[in-house]
Amino acid sequence: MVSFVRYYSNKKLIKVSMSKMELLITDESKKCEIAEYVFERLYTRFLKIFDFESDQKAEYEKFGDKSNRKVFEEEYKNGFIQLAACSLLIETFAAYLSGEDETPRGKSQNRFKKVFQYAEAKENDLQTFKDNNHFYERIRCGLLHQGETKGKYTITRKGFKLLYNEKIDAYLFHKSLKELLKSYKKDLCTKKWDDELWDACRQKIRHTINNSK
């Protein structure tokens, strides 16, 4: 049975089938349940792994100094894959905002702007990129097609500033995108069933269900 979402809540497996989602999107009283499943589908698939923490430590030599550091933080977390996953999520999230089955050819950059405009409406820090065409061209396309940024852009995970000159903080970008998904979940819970946000969401879910058959 194909799942719409599969995740753990309090160490208990939650598995929601496509057929169940097909029924849920016909029932206005299930708005918050649907919103939760959409959030978990997007968060679990694209962002959750970057929230993993481990207390395991070892001694590392860094810039000439030796100190005990967290193994997972030092060796396994990487801003490039983190930002690449965020880029994949943005395009997917845009489809929920627009109700599209897939991004129309030649419209990818526009869909990124749609998400950043939604961020502006939610007073989310990702609004920083609303008028920045470089993110799509030099970050998203560079990472997904060549595994590198273009222009003078670099990626960090220091957690100080989301965008400084041509330096993008993957940690803060991920954090802001997660908060934006939470805002979307809240909107779905509170907005009316016939709101355009819900119309688009249900349409995207129908596309997902049909694509699984």
Count of beta carbons in the 10 Å neighbourhood of residue 41: 21
Q: What share of the chain is helix, strand, coil (3-state, %, to 5)?
A: 60, 15, 25
pLDDT at residue 9 in the model: 95
Give residue-wise pLDDT tens across range 7-53: 999 999 999 999 999 999 999 999 999 999 999 999 999 999 999 99
> From CA 55, how far away is CA 47, in angstroms rounded?
20
At residue 195, the 3 state secondary structure works out as coil
> From CA 89, how far away is CA 187, in angstroms rounded?
18
Q: Sorting pLDDT into bands at 50, 70 and 90, what band is 64? A: confident
Burial call 123-162: b when 16+ CB within 10 Å, e when fewer: ebbbbbbbeeebbbebbbbbbeeeeebeeebebebeeeeb
Give residue-wise pLDDT tens across range 122-169: 999 999 999 887 898 899 999 989 889 998 899 999 999 999 989 999
pLDDT at residue 41 in the model: 98
pLDDT at residue 150 in the model: 92
Instruction: Assess contact for 155 and 84: CB atoms under 8 A.
Output: no
pLDDT at residue 174 in the model: 97
Give residue-wise pLDDT tens across range 82-121: 999 999 999 999 999 999 998 888 778 889 999 999 999 9
What H or E segment, with its residue span, contains residue 60?
strand 57-62
Q: Which residue has the higher pLDDT, 48 or 213?
A: 48
Count of beta carbons in the 10 Å neighbourhood of residue 93: 24
Identify each DSSP E strand in the chain by its residue range. Answer: 3-9, 12-17, 57-62, 65-70, 154-156, 163-164, 167-169
At residue 10, the 3 state secondary structure works out as coil
Q: Is the pTM of this model over 0.85?
A: yes
> From CA 81, how far away is CA 148, in angstroms rounded?
10
% of residues, the chain, pLDDT over 90: 85
Check pLDDT > 80 for residue 1: no
Measured in whole angstroms, how far is the alpha carbon of residue 109 from the centre of its chain?
Answer: 16
List, in sequence order, every residue forming a beta bridge with 70; answer none if it has no partner: 57
pLDDT at residue 63 in the model: 87
Please name the amino acid found at residue 176: S
Instruction: Assess contact for 195 and 202: CB atoms under 8 A.
Output: no
pLDDT at residue 87 in the model: 95
